[in-house]
Amino acid sequence: MIRSGIERLGGRTIGAIAELGRFARFGGWIVGGFLRPPFRPERIVREAYDSGVLSLAIVCASGLAVGLVLSLQLYNVLVRFGAEESLGAVIGLTLIRELGPVLTGLLVTGRAGSAMAAEIGMMVATEQIDGMRTMAVDPMKFVVVPKAVALTLSMPLLSALFIVAAIFGGYLVGVQLLGLGSGIYFSSLENAVVFRTDVVGSALKALLFGALVALIATFRGFTTGRSTAEVSASTTATVVTGSVCILLADYIFTALWGF
């Protein structure tokens, strides 16, 4: 009884480490497939439509909502200290350094990452991937790499749009509703944000999260078993692992980048 428990624990640990190894090799394949010709820009554009354009509405709407509520909350706290003219700076730095990349990453995981894992998973479950191999089409090159690249490259763009939408939301509440001067809002924003650390760091962060989500989604999809139940399991796993990885990677990146 005790022995079988210990055996199971050991088996799971070894299984998890092996999974990590497969994940790392899969990441290596994607990078290799991306660097080796033939390049398929038309496939990347098609996938950019799915992961970028279709995420645009949810990202902008969420950004606007976050900006609205952030402004409302912060104004009420700052006004107690007579520091409401710092509203723009607080909103801008919070969004650019943290909330923009992180929330966009979580939204994209839910919107595009899950769809990607489900699509690839269905292709595995319905043996389309095997069919490609039979016809000597490399499924990594034709399916996985364009999807991963498109999602990775879409992330900094989506994150920047999220931040701009949120700054606009903060402007609506802070300036239009609560009556802070528009010049005060934007000048404190402009004075606080530094290009090299804040804006570049924000874009790199978004790129990193995009690569993480793309890797996890394609890996989960590609390693799906051959049944429809497995497809839903890998979709769920993508969202859960992707979200947790983004939050952990966020801490590590922030600590190393030194915001």
Smallest distance from another protein to CB 85, Å? 6
- Give how far Cα 26 sits from Cα of 52, 113, 121, Å: 23, 16, 15
CB neighbour list of residue 102: distance below 8 Å, 6 or more residues apart: 205, 209, 246, 247, 250
Helix axes 100-108, 145-171, angle to 10 degrees: 130
What DSSP element (H or E) covers 142? none
Smallest distance from another protein to CB 81, Å? 6
- Asked if 190 is part of the footprint of another protein (rule: CB under 8 A), the reply reads yes
How far, in Å, CA of 259 to CA of 251, rounded? 11
The three-state secondary structure class of 136 is coil
Selected range binding another protein among 10-18, 48-56, 113-121, 128-136, rule: CB under 8 A:
48-56
Cβ pair 177, 78 in contact under 8 A: no
Among 193, 213, 216, 249, binds another protein (CB under 8 A): 193
- Asked if 96 is part of the footprint of another protein (rule: CB under 8 A), the reply reads yes
Smallest distance from another protein to CB 52, Å? 5
Burial classification of residue 38, based on how many CB atoms lie within 10 Å of its CB (0-12 exposed, 13-18 middle, 19 or more buried): exposed
Residue among 31 and 207 whose Cβ is closer to another protein? 207
Number of helices and strands in the chain (H, E): 12, 0
Cβ pair 180, 77 in contact under 8 A: no
Smallest distance from another protein to CB 22, Å? 30
- Asked if 143 is part of the footprint of another protein (rule: CB under 8 A), the reply reads no
Site for another protein in 161-180 (CB under 8 A): 161, 163-164
Residue among 118 and 163 whose Cβ is closer to another protein? 163
Smallest distance from another protein to CB 252, Å? 23
Among 104, 152, 188, 238, binds another protein (CB under 8 A): 188
User: Tokens standing for 220?
Assistant: 């989960």
- Asked if 199 is part of the footprint of another protein (rule: CB under 8 A), the reply reads yes
Residues of this chain that interact with another protein (CB under 8 A) are: 42-43, 45-46, 48-49, 52-53, 56, 81-83, 85-86, 89, 92, 96, 154, 156-158, 160-161, 163-164, 187-191, 193-196, 198-199, 202-203
